[in-house]
Chain A
Amino acid sequence: MKVLLVFSTIVVVAFSEQLFVGDQVLRVTATDEEQIALLRELGERVELQVDFWRDPTKPGRPADLRVPFPSLQAVKIFLESHGISYSIMIEDVQQLLDEEKETMMLSRRMERSANTFSFDSYHTLDEIYSWMDTLVADHPNLVSKIQIGESYEKRPLYVLKFSTGGSGRPAIWLDTGIHSREWVTQATGVWTANKLAEDYGHDPTVTSLLDTLDIFFEIVTNPDGYAFTHSSNRLWRKTRSINAGSSCIGVDPNRNWDAGFGDSGSSSNPCSETYHGPYAHSESEVKSIVDFILGHGNVKALISIHSYSQMLMFPYGYKRTPAPDYEELNELAKNAVNDLAAVYGTEYTYGSIADTIYLAAGTTVDWAYENGVKYSYTFELRDTGRYGFLLPSSQIIPTAEETWPALLDIMVHVQQHPY
């Protein structure tokens, strides 16, 4: 922005504490040589202290004048009485200066690189959103941020896109934090996104992966819920949508998908933690993902990350019938879980959702599977109940580190088995 460039000089002055309160910048366009002469004359009237940011040169070319507040009336009368047209480009120079200073301080904060973020602590929504921008700034040729929609309370739903180019490449979808109280998942999401960005170009597996596929990563899939766990109730799970005719709030976003929607394994009671919602995809947090994945048309894998229980599961949740790809999904889960255990000895169980944990209807993973995404998995990260949702932050990085090889196993398998 030109204004920014012009500002660089003024900023120096500002820092020596000269104030420009109420000063305005007028854009003036002289229509003939006579008007040009008049403007030059205006500039020579010392008592007015008019400061040309852009000199009057030729008729038809705009000139920019900074006019100190005390001179404003006099200058405007002068211009009007001579029929010289002008517009107010900057209403209050000081205000703009203040905003600019703030932006600079913000970018200075952002300029600290993405990998010096404290991955070993839990962060607020604002901190995570801010960090995402830093990640994009640090890896502009790999990572970009997309907004796929808005939450119920109108928070943006952001997805990080990892791509080295191509057009509509096969893609992997990752999400964390769909249930807001599962804090280790959003934290693992941040660590993992950073890891993907850092390893590209250095680690052969990740490099090969991202040279072939795109990854779409939604780290805070339920931002309203997440904000609520910080402000009010640490154990909040659902969205924060208002339910008509009930004082209870929220829908379980992992029962709101159109796969066995409303079947047993979900509740029709708005007060329940597994309330499926009034209809499938009623929640904007869910609909946004549905629209994105269907619109993309080439998503080959979906991994939805939850906590806790230490499990790696695949469809179905809404019925006990084995999925057609059961053998392959089960075998891959077994390998992934073994590689996970190899890091710190953490033991995971694996299998279909219905067998391993419970019947759950309307889940993300079942919807994806029934919409052409063969490799649909859900993780339940640490622990098995000792701390449960309140996992100490000292376990964030170990959790992320051990989950990483399991994620890679799945992603590499997807890369090697195109369909």
Chain B
Amino acid sequence: LPAAVLLKDTKLMDVKLGQLGSWLAMRDFTPSGILGGMRRGYNKYYNKYINVRKGGLGGISMLLAGYIVLSYMWSYSHV
């Protein structure tokens, strides 16, 4: 029997679908927690796609594509 890991310590990819709601509820939603989450996300993306020796096109093009999609979704009512 594997050692039981607390739900709040599991990563997102390991959470079962039924536990998703409780897992989300347990996350840190204080301002410092949100900032910490944003900082973590930024660092992960930056270190994976941009802070390398031979960075390719994908690093910025993914950001641009995401920006396009997001702005389309926000201005959908005008379309």
A and B part of one assembly: no
